[in-house]
């Protein structure tokens, strides 16, 4: 697979400097230009990561017809307009968008349809799928190592670094971290029939929100169930109480199980992920040999997935079309927590 396609980046914040660009450098990808809302920040990032061209503003980068791949890393409320602007110009071959693709299903649907009409391959940076433990668990599931899925859990006890734009969204978790876990369950098990989500606010977080602590139950028609606990209070850890910060998952089947951990919220945040698994008859767990970590390595996986799709003229595994079901699941979780009821995924997909 060729890796010399010209990539232009919009954004110069933490996720670009600490995740995208270090991962791309490891893979030898061709980053040719950058622009940001603040030009001084774009210049600083370009100097730090040896990006040859800094555009004066985002519009100038969008007008650069030499760019083949657009990597968008801006707050989600500003992302749709940039995707539509790129489609209007029609010069890029592919777009890697951040999650959430949009703040509601209808807007996301329009973005997917517009990109498709313009012949632009759209991918969404659901990078947790490319965490080494998550990807290995997916392979084992595909091989039937655990038999029929019975029960899967994902538990996050972690305190993220809040971004200023989250206050505008009045969302602490569902559209920020829970979206990763909901997408991960879809990656492993497909889309559920329904979700029930119960939330409460995080006592530590001062901006208005309802989703500091979220408990979600995903229901599948064959009886399989999955749960997610997202706890950003994890406390009172910041207030001086000993803490047990982690992201862990457990996949149980009729023939075996897998237990994994993700090193993102550890210190340092590049801590390796782990996975151990066993089948009926095994006397002990097998420890998977994993390479890399979620941050920053998984961010290289999402871009390579898009580059491969462009070269082969297929859809990436994290395509915008596939991601619509993740957006719908997040919207269903919000609706469930607001109306305090079980919400069918079809209620959102049919809107």
pLDDT of residue 32: 98
SS3 53: strand
- Note the pLDDT tens digit of each residue in 274-314: 999 999 999 999 999 999 889 899 999 999 999 999 999 99
In degrees, rounded to 5, the angle at the alpha carbon of residue 228 between the alpha carbons of residues 238 and 236 is: 15
pLDDT of residue 269: 64
> What residue ranges define each of the domains in the chain, with the CATH number in brackets?
7-127+297-319 (3.40.50.720), 129-294+329-345 (3.30.360.10)
pLDDT of residue 268: 62
Nearest-angstrom CA–CA distance, 236 and 243 = 8
In degrees, rounded to 5, the angle at the alpha carbon of residue 262 between the alpha carbons of residues 258 and 264 is: 175
Nearest-angstrom CA–CA distance, 206 and 203 = 8
pLDDT of residue 220: 98
Nearest-angstrom CA–CA distance, 137 and 143 = 10
Q: What is the pLDDT along the chain (351 residues), one digit of tens a residue?
A: 678 999 999 999 999 999 999 999 999 999 999 999 999 999 999 999 999 999 999 999 999 999 999 999 999 999 999 999 999 999 999 999 999 999 999 999 999 999 999 999 999 999 999 999 999 999 999 999 999 999 999 999 988 877 888 888 888 899 999 999 999 999 999 999 999 999 999 999 999 999 999 999 999 999 999 999 999 999 898 899 988 889 999 999 999 999 999 987 766 667 899 999 999 999 999 999 999 889 899 999 999 999 999 999 999 999 999 999 999 999 999 999 999 999 999 999 997
The first and second tokens of residue 320, run together, are 């915008």
CB atoms within 10 A of CB 162: 17
| Residue 166: C-alpha distances to residues 77, 296, 332 (Å) | 10, 22, 19
Do 39 and 66 form a contact (C-beta atoms < 8 A)?
no
Do 277 and 259 form a contact (C-beta atoms < 8 A)?
yes
């Amino acid at each position: 697979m060729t890796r010399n396609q010209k990539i232009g980046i919009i954004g110069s914040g933490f996720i670009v400097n600490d995740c995208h660009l270090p991962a791309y450098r490891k893979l030898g990808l061709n980053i040719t230009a950058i622009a940001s809302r603040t030009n001084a920040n774009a210049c600083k990032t370009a100097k730090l990561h040896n990006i040859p061209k800094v555009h004066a503003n985002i519009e100038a980068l969008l007008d650069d017809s030499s760019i083949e791949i657009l990597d968008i890393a801006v707050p989600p409320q500003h992302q749709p307009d940039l995707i539509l602007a790129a489609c209007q110009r029609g010069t890029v071959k592919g777009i890697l968008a951040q999650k959430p693709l949009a703040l509601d299903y209808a807007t996301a649907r329009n973005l997917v349809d517009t990109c498709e009409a313009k012949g632009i391959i759209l991918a969404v940076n659901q990078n947790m799928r490319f965490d080494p433990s998550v990807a290995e668990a997916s392979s084992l599931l595909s091989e039937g190592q655990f038999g029929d899925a019975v029960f899967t859990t994902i538990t996050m006890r972690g305190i993220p670094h809040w971004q200023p734009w989250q206050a505008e969204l009045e969302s602490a978790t569902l559209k920020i971290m829970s979206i990763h876990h909901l997408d991960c369950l879809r990656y492993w098990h497909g889309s559920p029939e329904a979700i029930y989500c119960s939330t409460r606010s995080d006592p530590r977080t001062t901006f208005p929100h309802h989703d500091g602590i979220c408990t979600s139950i995903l229901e599948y028609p064959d009886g399989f169930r999955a749960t997610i606990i997202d706890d950003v209070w994890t406390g009172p850890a910041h207030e001086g109480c000993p803490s047990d910060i982690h992201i862990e998952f457990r996949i149980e089947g009729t023939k075996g199980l897998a237990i994994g951990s993700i090193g993102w919220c550890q210190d340092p945040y590049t801590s390796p992920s782990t996975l151990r698994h066993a089948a009926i008859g095994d006397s002990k767990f097998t420890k998977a040999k994993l390479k890399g970590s979620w941050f920053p390595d998984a961010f290289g996986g999402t871009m390579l997935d898009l580059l491969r799709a462009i070269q082969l003229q297929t859809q990436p595994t994290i395509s915008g079309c596939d991601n619509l079901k993740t957006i719908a699941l997040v919207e269903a979780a919000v609706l469930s927590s607001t109306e305090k009821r079980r919400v069918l995924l079809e209620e959102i997909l049919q809107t």
